[in-house]
Structure formats: structure tokens, C-alpha cells
Structure 1
Amino acid sequence: MAKQLLITSAGLTAERAYQLGLVNVVTEPGDAVDQALALAADICRSAPVAVRQTLAAIASQFSEADDRGWDATARAIEVVKASEDMSEGVTAFFERRPRNGVGGDRGRGTGQACFRALIPEALHSSQ
């Protein structure tokens, strides 16, 4: 699901995020602060040292992978910024039209060429 959301830039409603387990509470409009304060009160009733150590342990598990992820994201952003796709996307936005499938650095556009570009070579090399 995460790959689909990242690749398509599709929107995500609060209800769908809840179904996917990305959020643990969905409130009625205007109730978010009250719900957050209730959660904070629950957390504050727990032992402070245990809460801090639990959060520290969770953070340490993800920090190295997170650093690699941010580095990969920064490299990807640089490639996208330098691509034909970026300039076409910006132009299309200001011209209020759908973007053309330029394909950027490898000349890939829309349709079958795009799909072939997304599928590993091994899956379509026999075609």
C-alpha cells in the first residue's frame, strides 16, 4: 500500500488511513485536540522512566534505517528535480492541464513503455 500511495500520489482519507493502521484514532471534526489531550493524560499516568525508555528504544530501532531512507529520498529528489518530468509537471500545473508522459531521464512515457519500465527486466525479457 505504501508503494502505491508514493507512486500514485493518491490522497488518503482519515478513514482509509485508520483501516490501514496508519492512524489509531479518527475523531469527529473539532474533537481532535480533546482526543489528543485524553491520550496524553493516559500516557502521563504511566511510569515516566518506562515511557521515556520505551520511546528511546523504539527510536533507536528506526534511526539507522531512517537515515538510509532519508539519504535515498534526497538522492531521488535530486534525480526528479533534474528530469524532464519535473519541468513538464510544473509547466502542466501552471497551464492547468494534465502532464504529458515525458519519461524524464530515460525517455519513458505513458502506456506500455511506462509499464515495461516499472517491471523488472526479468519479467518481460522473454516477450
Structure 2
Amino acid sequence: MSTTFITSEVSGQILTITLNRPQALNSLNAAACFELAAIFDDYQDNDELRVAIITGTGDRAFCAGHDLVDDFFEPMPESGWAGLSLRKGLHKPLIAAVNGLALGGGWEIAMMCDVVVADQRATFGLPEPKVGFAALGGGARILPHRVPYHIAMGLLLTGKSISAEKAAQLGLVNDVTEPGAVMAGAYRWAREMLTCSPKALYFSKQLAQASMEPDSLRGPLQSLEQELAGELAQSKDVREGIAAFMQKRPPVWTGH
């Protein structure tokens, strides 16, 4: 598969997906999201692949979210942000190897994975409100299921970041590794998964996902997420937030 912004590599039954925009802290533009969608389509359909690991190029960033400079308002693939947020039927394991900053959509990608391994230098945050947007790529929908409500809202309503250690204390990270060892840690988890029955893992994830967000709830929540995203995209504040970010100045909010 020919890609520009995402690389993928197969080793045995393990697929490694690497976000490859280091000049933009591995943030994703619309084209990168479509590339990821195609890669996850293949992973979902390819019986030879049993575990996938997703990481970022370099040691600065896993993913800094959606690129505010490059086509912020372009449409996403049918399977949503990063090809994951609206995806159905992916019951194979996903491991996030968080090698640095996981901000906004970057943290949302990690939330949509089943196991999160983080370099001890990694940080996590949902700073979208600081640029007039919201964590509508899955973050605001998923985080309150993962931690107590007040912890989730404290992060969602301030845009504050937390360390890998703090994320592990809150149960948001499975494993924190020494600097530079995150991929080794992720492969350890992948190899352990490969010792298990693939069908048993598939059914385990299917049931776990249904218990967290049954179809009767998932559909309406995703529809609301898309509706709110569309409304925010048309707001003056989101355009002001992006302009302020690019001009390196404080935004002037109007509430419109």
C-alpha cells in the first residue's frame, strides 16, 4: 500500500503502524486519516494479522492531534478520526506505543486502543478547548467511561496535560517504560497476546466493547458527536482559536 504520511510494517502476525509527520509532531491531516482508515481496513480483513501496534516517528511526539495548519476543516473518512473513531467491527487487539506527546486526537487514538504502553517522558492531554474546539474525535465520549466523572471533566474542561506516570495511576496506561523502550514494551504485550487463541481474543474484545458502549448507545452518541463537531466547525470561536494558535497570541473568545 502506497502511503505518504503513515508507514506500516508486518513482522510475523504483528502489524506496526507509524504516524510519520515528525515535522508536525506527528499530527494528522485529513489525508493521513484516510491513509490510516485504509490500513485499519486491511488489518480488520486480513486473517494473517493478529495484533497491531500504533506509534509515532521520533521521540518527541506520538501524535499532537489534528494539524491546525493543514486542512483542519476537510472531511474525515467514513470510519472517523484517524480511521478509528467511528469504526465498527474491529475486534482484533490494538496496542498504543506512546513515545511522546499524545495530545487531542493523539490521546483519542490511544484511548481507542486496548493496551497503552507509554514512554515515561510521554504526556497526555485534550487541549482542544484552548483553540475553540472540543474532544469530539472520541475523547469526550470515551474518557468518562475510563476514569471517575470529575477526573474526566477536570481534564476535558481545562485542557490540562498529565504525565505518563499520572495516567498510569488513573488506569489510563497499562505500562510505563524507560526512555526509548516503548516499542520493546509494546512488542512484549503483542507476543503475550499471540500466545492466546485469536478467536478468544476477538470475542473477548467484542464483548468488552459492547459492555462499555452498547450499540443502542454508541450510535446516538456518535451522531451527537458529529453534530456538535459540525456546529463547532462553523463557529467564530474555532476560527479565532486557530488564528490565535498560528499567530502565537491569546485568543479572544466571543462565545459565537
- 5 Å-filtered alignment, 1:1-127, equals 1-61=151-211, 62-64=213-215, 65-104=217-256
More deviation, 28-37/40-49: 40-49
Give the drift of 1:54.
Answer: 0.8
Task: Report SS of the residue matched to 1:12.
Answer: strand
Q: Could you state the TM-score of these two structures normalised by the residue count of structure 1?
A: 0.69
Q: Which runs of 5+ in 2 are unaligned?
A: 1-150
Give the drift of 1:18.
Answer: 0.8
Task: Report SS of the residue matched to 2:160.
Answer: coil
Cα distance in structure 2, aligned partners of 1:20 and 1:76 = 28
Cα distance in structure 2, aligned partners of 1:93 and 1:27 = 32
Partner of 1:121: none
Cα distance in structure 1, aligned partners of 2:253 and 2:230 = 19
Tell me which structure has the larger Cα radius of gyration.
Answer: 1
- Give the CA RMSD over aligned residues: 1.9
Give the drift of 1:63.
Answer: 5.0
- 1:7–1:44 CA distance, 2 compared to 1 (3 A): same
Cα distance in structure 1, aligned partners of 2:184 and 2:239 = 44
Task: Report SS of the residue matched to 2:252.
Answer: coil
The letter for the 2-side match of 1:49 is K
Give the drift of 1:99.
Answer: 0.9
Q: Which has the higher strand share?
A: 2
The letter for the 2-side match of 1:85 is D
Task: Report SS of the residue matched to 2:208.
Answer: helix
Give the drift of 1:58.
Answer: 1.7
Q: Which has the higher helix share?
A: 1
Q: Could you state the TM-score of these two structures normalised by the residue count of structure 2?
A: 0.37
**Kept after mapping to 2: 8 A contact 1:88/1:102:** no
Identify which of structures 1 and 2 has the higher relative contact order when contacts are C-alpha pairs closer than 8 Å and 6+ apart.
2
Cα distance in structure 1, aligned partners of 2:244 and 2:234 = 16
Query: Percent of counterpart pairs with the same letter?
Result: 30
Cα distance in structure 1, aligned partners of 2:245 and 2:253 = 14
Cα distance in structure 1, aligned partners of 2:183 and 2:252 = 42
Partner of 1:107: none
Q: Which runs of 5+ in 1 are unaligned?
A: 105-127
Cα distance in structure 1, aligned partners of 2:247 and 2:190 = 46
